[in-house]
Amino acid sequence: PALRAPILAIYHFAREADDIADEGDAPAAQRLQDLGRYRAALERAVRGDAAVDSDWPQVFGPLASALRSHALPPPLLHDLLSAFEQDVRYTDEGRRYVSHEALLDYCRLSANPVGRLLLHLYGVTDARSLQQSDQICSALQLINFWQDLSVDLPRRRHYLPRDVMAQHGVTDA
């Protein structure tokens, strides 16, 4: 219960950013601009600026509090935003992941920070735990991708790496 507020702050931060990147009809340029504003709001929260961001007070008020009270590592929050920006670019350009390693690098930004943030809240910082968390979070992200192919492919999100497809003789069809 003592960690409920910071966990919710992290969740709402990530959920809102994901919605900016993925939901609605805004063109890619607008989504990237909005994510840029979101990143600027994060920077203000990290600096401890007194003014609550007017566009997302429900996100950055609690997040600023969690940043202060639990010394959340800002680079992990920035990594999440980088993943959402990558989502927009890849979808808009119809790009695909060429290799399993490239897809895992995406997971390093999109999933692994969440596990590391949660471990941080519990004071777990040893290298072995962080590595195991990264492996679990990446695996969960990949499972999510592959169970949602029917949703993601029509939205031009392609999370099947080309090298793995070629290795197994799988075509786009």
Secondary structure (H, E, C), 75-130:
HHHHHHHHHHHHHHHHHHHCCCCCCHHHHHHHHHHHCHHHHHHHHHHCCCCCHHHH
**In which element (H, E) is residue 1 found?**
none
Residue 156: predicted pLDDT: 77
- 118 pLDDT more than 90: yes
- 79 pLDDT more than 90: yes
Residue 52: predicted pLDDT: 62
Instruction: Report the alpha-carbon distance of residue 15 to residue 23 in Å, rounded.
Output: 11
pLDDT greater at residue 90 or residue 30 = 30
Residue 48: predicted pLDDT: 87
Residues 93-102: pLDDT tens digits? 667 888 999 9
Q: 38-47, 102-111, 147-156: which has the minimum mean pLDDT? A: 147-156
The mean pLDDT of 134-162, rounded to a whole number, is: 89
The torsion angles phi and psi of 55, rounded to 5 degrees, stand at: -80, -35
Predicted confidence band of residue 32 (pLDDT cuts 50, 70, 90): very high
pTM given for the model: 0.91
